[in-house]
A and B are shown apart, each in its own frame.
Chain A
Amino acid sequence: RKEVEQDPGPFNVPEGATVAFNCTYSNSASQSFFWYRQDCRKEPKLLMSVYSSGNEDGRFTAQLNRASQYISLLIRDSKLSDSATYLCVVKGVGNYGQNFVFGPGTRLSVLP
């Protein structure tokens, strides 16, 4: 089983739609969780950290369920500029807790 799993998509949604992505992780000792965004042929950029209590940043809401070992990202009122690949990232316990394990990413296309 892979350490971090995501539905690769693509998710094709119209502008203004609400879309949700899920991510599961296998290591229950994982410490920190993030969503990164990666545009085509670019480096990943941090979208938001994911906190146990859930957190919101504008149109983006992240949730963590430690018991079920999954993380979610909700995007409301999708914009064309949201089109990208969304990477679920888990900071693990290997390498003195420095290892960041990337999921395969979920591709989102927001259509006009």
Chain B
Amino acid sequence: GAVVSQHPSWVICKSGTSVKIECRSLDFQATTMFWYRQFPKQSLMLMATSNEGSKATYEQGVEKDKFLINHASLTLSTLTVTSAHPEDSSFYICSARRRGGLAGEWDNEQFFGPGTRLTVL
């Protein structure tokens, strides 16, 4: 199956600092990756769709200047939480879709990274 990694798996930082989270597809090329956030006892909420070589598409209510997304290669997307505050503490998860099959069609499944737990003090 397809493997997606995230780094770091957890991070603790002071308020006001910036934190970068990496999402990598290890054995396939991912032209599209997704960034989710999950608060305790809540479901995953899509933050943005990251497209290789172009600007990310942000969901309503997500500040693009605060959550910077860069998808510079077919296997790497990064999410930078700028000037993090305690309310940004959450579980951030990325996922990727893969093209496969004879016709290069999209897999119907999303492959998730293991998540990054961010705690802002």
Contacts and interface: CB of A to CB of B under 8 A. Distances in A.
B114 A104 contact: no
A103 B43 contact: yes
Interface string A38-49: 000111111001
B108 A91 contact: yes
A31 B46 CA distance: 18
Contacts of A98: 32, 34, 49, 97
Given A98-B32, A98-B97, A102-B43, A43 B109 contact: no
A6 to B, nearest CB: 9
Contacts of B34: 98, 100
Interface residues of A, number: 20
B46 A99 contact: yes
B35 to A, nearest CB: 12
Contacts of B91: 41
Interface string A77-112: 000000000010001000100111111110000000
B79 interface: no
A95 B49 contact: yes
Query: Could you tell me the dominant secondary structure of chain B's interface residues?
Result: strand
B32 to A, nearest CB: 7
B17 interface: no
B46 A43 contact: no
B72 interface: no
Contacts of A87: 43-44
B54 interface: no
Contacts of A100: 34, 46, 95, 110
Nearest to B111: A46
B60 to A, nearest CB: 11
B114 A43 contact: yes
A49 B44 contact: no
A32 B42 CA distance: 22
Nearest to B94: A43
B112 interface: yes
7 contacts: A41-B91, A43-B113, A43-B114, A49-B109, A101-B46, A104-B42, A104-B43
